Amino acid sequence: MISVIILTFNEEKHIERCIRSLLPLNGKIFIVDSFSTDKTVEIAESLGAIIHTNPWKNYAEQFQWGLDNCPIDTAWVMRMDADEYVEPDLIKEVAERLSFINSDVKGIYIRRKYFFLGQWIKHGSVYPLNLLRIWRVNEGKIEERWMDEHIVLNGSGKTIQFDGHIVDDNLNNTRWWTEKHNKYADREMIDILDKKYDLFNYENVLKEKSKSSQAKIKRQIKEGIYNRLPIFVRPFLYFIYRYFLRFGFLDGKKGFAFHFMQGYWYRSLVDLRVFEAEEVLKGTKDNKDRILKLEKLTGLRLQ
């Protein structure tokens, strides 16, 4: 009925929880692993998952590799992250509705809950977040981006919204969280500069093919308004918007930590990386030179 693709690298802390939450679907679970050195693969195999391995470049290329190379023979495919799990309400909804959906429906949006330090973050425009996570096989692909990549449908097709939830609840500590966002800042900086210089000639599939989805609206606001605000000022304004105007303060102490770190600290870090990169790129005349300098600056393999 449904196949699930999960990307992994050293996810022994999360992978069992993720897979066990999916087992009631009685579907196929494909793991695309980038050569984990812990027990991730062993745990996944013991739970019946099918393992594939592929070297890591970025999330978008790795997930598209999974779509292209995993032997998916079900009608539907689902995207999951290793640190996520599915709640029983979504399991029930998929089991009861998926087989009876009209053929003109190509994709299904799922609500996501985000947890920080074990607490559900309900305010600050974090919830509800509706993501296209289930789609008909061969009807969708992932955007070519370094950050904030979404699944987009090929051509025309209707989408529907399920009421059930996926939960994003990473069990690592805040040191891991800040290191992860430190890497995210490099990736987001690359996307911002790609938008400015057209470094990679990627197709902006979300803009061109998506309808008025939540992801598209957020992207339009980010690129059309936020990124045009003065550098280093915009993170402060964004934090004020999230914490006060969107009631982030109702999430308590842990909520303040999350909204401040993710809404102000991280966005300031992205601005700093963009500022630094623009200094490095001064005097460059072509994208080949720009990409080489960005690779040296970030340590990322961009080509």
Give the whole-angstrom CA distance, residue 302 versus residue 296: 10
pLDDT at residue 202, rounded to an integer: 79
Give the whole-angstrom CA distance, residue 77 versus residue 106: 11
pLDDT at residue 1, rounded to an integer: 87
For residue 119 the two structure tokens come to 């607490």
Identify the residue whose tokens are 């022994």: 12
Residue ranges of the alpha helices (H) in 81-230?
A: 88-97, 174-197, 205-209, 214-224
Instruction: Find residue 136's DSSP bridge partners.
Output: 76
Tell me, which fold does domain 1-83 have in CATH? Rossmann fold (3.40.50)
pLDDT at residue 207, rounded to an integer: 56
Q: What percent of the chain has pLDDT over 70?
A: 97
Can you give the three-state secondary structure of 48-85, one letter per residue?
A: CCEEEECCCCCHHHHHHHHHHHCCCCCCEEEEEECCEE
pLDDT at residue 216, rounded to an integer: 82
Identify the residue whose tokens are 């977040």: 129
- Give the tens place of pLDDT for each residue, 179-212: 999 999 999 999 999 999 999 987 656 654 555 5
- Give the tens place of pLDDT for each residue, 138-151: 999 999 999 999 99
For residue 166 the two structure tokens come to 């996926």
ω into residue 24 within 30 of 0, thus cis? no
- Which whole-number Å values give the CA distances from 156 to 17, 90, 107, 269, in the listed order? 35, 26, 11, 38
Q: With contact defined as beta carbons under 8 Å apart, do 280 and 293 qualify?
A: yes
Residue type, 94: V
pLDDT at residue 206, rounded to an integer: 66
Q: With contact defined as beta carbons under 8 Å apart, do 303 and 296 qualify?
A: no
pLDDT at residue 236, rounded to an integer: 98
Task: List the chain pLDDT tens, one digit each, 303 residues.
Answer: 899 999 999 999 999 999 999 999 999 999 999 999 999 999 999 999 999 999 999 999 999 999 999 999 999 999 999 999 999 999 999 999 999 999 999 999 999 999 999 999 999 999 999 999 999 999 999 999 999 999 999 877 799 999 999 999 999 999 999 999 999 999 999 999 999 999 998 765 665 455 557 888 888 999 899 999 999 999 999 999 999 999 999 999 999 999 999 999 999 999 999 999 999 999 998 999 999 999 999 999 998
pLDDT at residue 129, rounded to an integer: 94
pTM: 0.95
Q: What are the residue ranges spanned by the domains of the chain?
A: 1-83, 174-298
Q: With contact defined as beta carbons under 8 Å apart, do 226 and 240 qualify?
A: no
